[in-house]
A and B are shown apart, each in its own frame.
Chain A
């Protein structure tokens, strides 16, 4: 197997200088591999380190030690822990997408533009990108009158759908997805799951965090269970 991701002995701790040099261990000695086209579910209680691990993969957190080898589309291997920033920026624009639990967007940008922007960054035609964005929002059941409204004022479920559409519009190779279905009804949940499964069918690999048993059961090929920042169990679903 030629893994798309090979994580070796990653630890992450926070050192808080301004709070009495407080030291927090978030991840300890985490190792795992992912095959191309696989969906890996991260499970464990709140605070077990799932999101920290995901943020380390996206470089929003700096891993304190260990390696995260990512095989790029071009076939080269990049250590996400030590790669230069401009290299990470390039990967974020082309291959690695993070779909966070909460929508954080530039203010004053309409929902359809937020979604289309991910495609435009790769150099697409604006009209076509907007068309595709609206198709996705339609499929996700976001009311048409919200497409040109600013997502900052949307409900949790509406924001979540904008987030999902934005994450998949450019069909990235590697997706980091944190609680994509948390505030959605069952029907919309299934639409979201189907969209991610379609990404997988095109060859994308996905790391997924969810507390939702239905989402987990439908999506995951394999599970990695975390407790207190350590991997305690790896299960093939």
Chain B
């Protein structure tokens, strides 16, 4: 597969993305997956966290990834955000080298640049996305600095603007996130993630640890930002209610593979795969 598939207009193209921990052998992928109800290679105990991942994401589209713990959904976006190193595969972004360069083959320096200018990530645990030794404003400044903004006044201005936009009191800009509530920490993370106006945003279980009412407000904020900025998003969640509210399309993962993908309303109302049927029927 190469990046000159007939289809055009996509923002992100992922082909055969694979992550294996341990020592894979040639048949590790073949003998794992939903068919075997396992992601552990029977020969070497290598763990196939995800494999055979193929999809395209279009501008402005919101793609959900659902699946149980250990299905590989978080690994998938961590690979795309370079938090982890892929074992194999190809990833193209239309905004990078006119979609001609496989992102996985970039130098570390170029990976950092792509990550800071073209992507944003919001983690489940704010400690993964924020430096608790810095102030809220400092965390946002870090992302801006990494993308090449060096004018202190303008950085402060932008940080204040972003905090305002995500409804964090600007008066708390110089406080560290450790003094913030969980919902506010997520808002600071969101500010940081969108600081450089990236075309692509990853959200990993962003509301999982929050109270229902706080969760609702964070989801409202994400929806509103998505509409205003027209950013493409990949939303990882085990919560079908979150997926239903935020996404246009959904991929269902199990044992490191995509078992089904479709329009979100189709996945919820006419699930095809046995596992998706179980998942949907478990919805309260």
Chain A residues with CB below 8 A from B262, complex form: 62, 85
Say yes or no: B281 contacts A60, CB within 8 Å.
no
Interface residues of B in 240-258 (CB under 8 A from A): 245, 248-249
Q: A60-B266, A106-B223 are in contact. Are A18 and B281 (CB under 8 A)?
A: yes
- A17 contacts the other chain (Cβ, under 8 Å)? yes
Say which residue of A18, A59, A60, A108 sits within 8 Å of B274 (CB atoms). Answer: A18
Say yes or no: A89 contacts B248, CB within 8 Å.
yes
Say yes or no: A59 contacts B263, CB within 8 Å.
yes
- A120 contacts the other chain (Cβ, under 8 Å)? yes
- A228 contacts the other chain (Cβ, under 8 Å)? no
Interface residues of B in 1-59 (CB under 8 A from A): 7, 9, 56, 58
Q: A55-B269, A107-B216, A108-B216 are in contact. Are A88 and B274 (CB under 8 A)?
A: no
Chain A residue at minimum C-beta to C-beta distance from B62: A89
Give the shortest distance, in Å, between B148 (CB) and chain A (any CB): 31
Q: A106-B245, A108-B216 are in contact. Are A85 and B277 (CB under 8 A)?
A: no
Chain B residues with CB below 8 A from A122, complex form: none
Q: A59-B263, A86-B58 are in contact. Are A108 and B220 (CB under 8 A)?
A: yes
- B61 contacts the other chain (Cβ, under 8 Å)? yes
In angstroms, Cα B248 to Cα A88, docked, is 10
Interface residues of A in 29-78 (CB under 8 A from B): 55, 59-62
Say yes or no: A60 contacts B263, CB within 8 Å.
yes
- A16 contacts the other chain (Cβ, under 8 Å)? yes
Tally chain A residues at the interface, Cβ within 8 Å: 19
- B167 contacts the other chain (Cβ, under 8 Å)? no
Chain A residue at minimum C-beta to C-beta distance from B270: A61
- B157 contacts the other chain (Cβ, under 8 Å)? no
Say yes or no: A59 contacts B266, CB within 8 Å.
yes
Chain A residue at minimum C-beta to C-beta distance from B58: A86
In angstroms, Cα B157 to Cα A125, docked, is 27
Chain B residue at minimum C-beta to C-beta distance from A56: B270
Say yes or no: A60 contacts B265, CB within 8 Å.
yes
Task: Digitize B260-284: 1 where CB-to-A-CB distance is under 8 Å, 0 elsewhere.
Answer: 0111011001101110011001000
Chain B residues with CB below 8 A from A17, complex form: 273-274, 277-278
Counting contact residues on chain B (CB < 8 A from A), the size range is 20 to 34
Chain B residue at minimum C-beta to C-beta distance from A98: B265
- B227 contacts the other chain (Cβ, under 8 Å)? yes
In angstroms, Cα B262 to Cα A17, docked, is 18
Q: A86-B61, A89-B248, A108-B216 are in contact. Are A61 and B223 (CB under 8 A)?
A: no
Name which of A16, A60, A84 has the most chain B CB atoms within 10 A of its CB. Answer: A60
Q: A60-B263, A108-B220 are in contact. Are A89 and B61 (CB under 8 A)?
A: yes
Q: A59-B263, A89-B61, A89-B263 are in contact. Are A18 and B278 (CB under 8 A)?
A: yes
In angstroms, Cα B280 to Cα A17, docked, is 12
In angstroms, Cα B271 to Cα A15, docked, is 9
Q: A106-B223, A108-B216 are in contact. Are A88 and B277 (CB under 8 A)?
A: no
Chain B residues with CB below 8 A from A106, complex form: 223, 245
Chain B residues with CB below 8 A from A62, complex form: 262, 266, 270, 272
Say yes or no: A120 contacts B227, CB within 8 Å.
yes
In angstroms, Cα B260 to Cα A17, docked, is 14
Chain B residue at minimum C-beta to C-beta distance from A109: B220
Chain A residues with CB below 8 A from B278, complex form: 17-18
Chain B residues with CB below 8 A from A85, complex form: 248-249, 261-263
Say yes or no: B249 contacts A18, CB within 8 Å.
no
Chain A residue at minimum C-beta to C-beta distance from B230: A123
Chain B residue at minimum C-beta to C-beta distance from A120: B227
In angstroms, Cα B9 to Cα A86, docked, is 10
In angstroms, Cα B228 to Cα A226, docked, is 44
Say yes or no: A89 contacts B274, CB within 8 Å.
no
A-B contacts, 26 of them at CB < 8 A, read A14-B270, A17-B273, A17-B277, A17-B278, A18-B274, A18-B278, A18-B281, A55-B269, A55-B270, A59-B263, A60-B269, A60-B270, A61-B266, A62-B270, A62-B272, A84-B7, A85-B262, A85-B263, A86-B58, A88-B263, A89-B58, A89-B263, A106-B223, A106-B245, A107-B216, A107-B245
Interface of B with A (CB < 8 Å)? 7, 9, 56, 58, 61, 216, 220, 223, 227, 245, 248-249, 261-263, 265-266, 269-270, 272-274, 277-278, 281
Contacts A62-B270, A88-B263 known; list 14 others, CB within 8 Å: A15-B272, A17-B277, A18-B274, A18-B277, A18-B278, A60-B266, A61-B270, A84-B7, A85-B248, A85-B261, A85-B262, A85-B263, A89-B249, A107-B245
Going nearest first, the 8 A-B pairs with the smallest beta carbon separation are A17-B274, A61-B270, A86-B58, A60-B265, A18-B277, A89-B248, A85-B249, A60-B269
